[in-house]
A and B are shown apart, each in its own frame.
Chain A
Amino acid sequence: MQTNQVPIPEPPQAITTKDLMYLKDAMSWELLAFKKLHFLAEHATNQDVKQALDQAGQMHQKHYQKLLSHLQVNNNTVLSSLQNAQQQQQQMH
């Protein structure tokens, strides 16, 4: 354990264990939601209802893609650059 650690100003762009748990959960809900909304839109009779269901379905698919993009990180790179920054700052001190 480093005793003279430089403070980390804010949480780095790493995906934590907890983040991954919630991201996987959220993507599962979103996937089910937009599949369901698409199905409902296909079976609705009223045009306004159809359109509302389809719009919501598209939104949830967009959300899914956004969540998925958060998994395109390299935790190793984030961690090693964090360590580098730490070492540089320590040398300056």
Chain B
Amino acid sequence: MQNQQMPQNQQRQQGQQMQQSQNSNQIANPQAGQLPKVKGPEMNDRDFLNDALSTCKYITDSLNIAVREASHQQLHADLLQMLNETHQSSREFFQLMFQNGWYKLEAEDQQKVNQAHQQFSNYSSQFPYPLQ
């Protein structure tokens, strides 16, 4: 485990594990022990990443419209590349937050996934094209 060498973090980790046993569908890393336990009003690294991520999200939304509205081919291509790179950058922020335990995911109940798969598989009767 990543932060076994940090004893001051044990309590937090145990708390996290208890949470995980309560909700077995949760997918998350233990929080890295670099944030103060009781957070004050000052911005911390997690806030910084969240802020960076929301800036990136805003820019991808806006660039998407600019791509759609671009007149000539070169402008369209350049804006599209910027949009793609900004998506990649957002993804890196997300991954970093996930690694630090600042992003929790929740797996859906398998039964509901199966149900949806069944439902949408049945719609194949409506397919106009032959099945590949």
Contacts and interface: CB of A to CB of B under 8 A. Distances in A.
A45 B34 contact: yes
Between B32, B34, B51, B55, the greatest number of chain A beta carbons within 10 A of the residue's beta carbon is seen for B55
Nearest to B48: A40
B9 to A, nearest CB: 14
Given A11-B71, A29-B59, A52-B49, 10 more contacts: A11-B73, A19-B69, A23-B66, A30-B59, A40-B52, A49-B49, A53-B52, A56-B93, A60-B86, A70-B78
Q: State the main secondary structure of chain A at its contact with B.
A: helix
Nearest to B68: A22
B96 interface: yes
Contact of B96 (A16, A32, A52): A52
B62 A14 contact: no
Interface residues of B, number: 33
Q: State the main secondary structure of chain B at its contact with A.
A: helix
B72 A13 contact: yes
Interface residues of A, number: 36
25 contacts: A10-B73, A11-B72, A11-B73, A18-B69, A18-B71, A19-B69, A19-B70, A19-B71, A25-B66, A26-B79, A30-B59, A37-B55, A43-B48, A44-B48, A45-B45, A46-B32, A52-B49, A52-B96, A53-B48, A53-B52, A55-B89, A56-B89, A59-B89, A67-B78, A67-B82
A23 B69 CA distance: 11
B69 A22 contact: yes
B85 A40 contact: no
Nearest to A57: B52
A18 B68 CA distance: 11
A55 B10 CA distance: 32
Contact of A13 (B56, B58, B74, B79): B74
B105 interface: no
